[in-house]
Structure 1
Amino acid sequence: MRNARALLTPQGFEGVTATVRDNNPDMTEATAERIVTEALKFVVAAAQFPTVSVQPSRVVDEGWHALILHTRLYAKLCNGLGHFVNHVPERRGPERHDPHTLTRTVVLIEQAGYSVDIDLWTGPTKTLVGVAANCSHTPVPGGCGPINPGNCATHGGGK
């Protein structure tokens, strides 16, 4: 299995993990590291399979938000993966959750060569840990997600 943490320098990984912890003060360092690691795997899968609809779990989305806030690091990561993975936030809600897209995303992460920390890939009503992020990714007409280039003219904006 591949090591997702190796996609960033130790300092970069530490910085993104610190952002997750800053946004979630009661979270342990170990949990924040797990979340960032899964977010990296998600970005790899989204970049490697750009025509397939994917989405992060709410918990993993927290790590993705933190990655995006480190714009230079995120741009370098996506550049190295050969595809920029845009973020289009939508207000979250159980009615927008598509368990099939989440399952498909996990399968694609595994196809990309990573093991999945399955406890962090649950639906919105079964999260392992609460996170600050208050958005999701929904299909048209509610928004542009799940992340799929065919859903919108562009995937700009967001965090």
Structure 2
Amino acid sequence: MTIVEERPVIDAGTLVGVELRETIAADVRARYDHITAELACRGVGQLLAFLAAGAVSEQPLSPSPLVDDFWHAFILRTKAYADFCHDTFGKFVHHQPGFLDREEHGGGKGLRARTVDAIQAAGYTVDPEFWPELDIADCSQCHANCHNSPKHADASATSAG
């Protein structure tokens, strides 16, 4: 008989204190008026889950466009971001945008699928609404050429994604 012990899924939002979590959420909301307080709170959690998974991953990971917006907001709080990285990971987690070799890393969608897998493997909650291009959510929060984005080629042909 095999006993499978499931470990509880961790809300990565708890990796920072309430005040910092609210500050990052408020910074994102100040820039993007369509983001609700509830979505912003969840977004901070997804950002922190991404950072935690990336800090231990041997392969490159990539945030979704929406998670990247939260990362930018956190990075602008330079001291808080540097302290968080040092205290939580023992190192600074750099934001290095760029294009990785598609053959080697699978392109953006492949990287983000790997990221979601890494977040789950690290024991953190994955909120599907923050990873829309992976077809694990039905959302319209961003306009990053998702399946129901106004920028998507099929958006004019259909009324909903």
Deviation of 1:72 (Å): 1.4
Number of the residue aligned with 2:116 = 106
Q: 2:63 aligns with which of 29, 37, 56?
A: 56
Amino acid at match of 1:83: K
2:30 to 6, 18, 22: 22
Decide whether the 8 Å contact of 2:61 with 2:111 is kept in 1: yes
- Report the equivalent of 1:85: 93
Q: What TM-score, normalized by structure 1, do the two folds share?
A: 0.71
What letter corresponds to residue 42 of structure 1 in structure 2?
A: F
Counterpart position of 1:70: 77
Q: Which SS does the other structure have where 1:22 is aligned?
A: helix
Given the alignment, which residue of 120, 124, 128 partners 2:140? 128
Q: What is the TM-score of this pair, normalised by structure 2? A: 0.70
What letter corresponds to residue 60 of structure 2 in structure 1?
Answer: S
- The AA in structure 2 aligned to 1:110 is Q
Structure number with bigger Rg: 2
Question: What amino acid does structure 2 have at the position aligned with 1:128?
Answer: S
* 1:39 aligned residue: 47
Alignment: residue pair count: 127
Greater RCO between the two (CA within 8 Å, min separation 6)?
Answer: 1
Separation (CA, whole Å) in 2 of partners of 1:97 and 1:127: 22
Match of 2:127 among 117, 120, 123: 117
Q: Distance in 2 between matches of 1:72 and 1:29?
A: 24
The answer as to whether partners of 2:109 and 2:134 remain within 8 angstroms in 1 is no
SS of residue matched to 1:13: helix
Is the contact between residue 47 and residue 82 of structure 1 (CA under 8 Å) also seen in structure 2? Answer: no
Q: Percent identity, aligned pairs only?
A: 34
Gaps of 5+ in 2: 1-8, 100-105, 145-161
Rounded to whole Å, the distance in 2 between the matches of 1:121 and 1:41 is 13
In the alignment, the residues of structure 2 paired with residue 116 and residue 30 of structure 1 have an alpha-carbon distance, to the nearest angstrom, of: 16
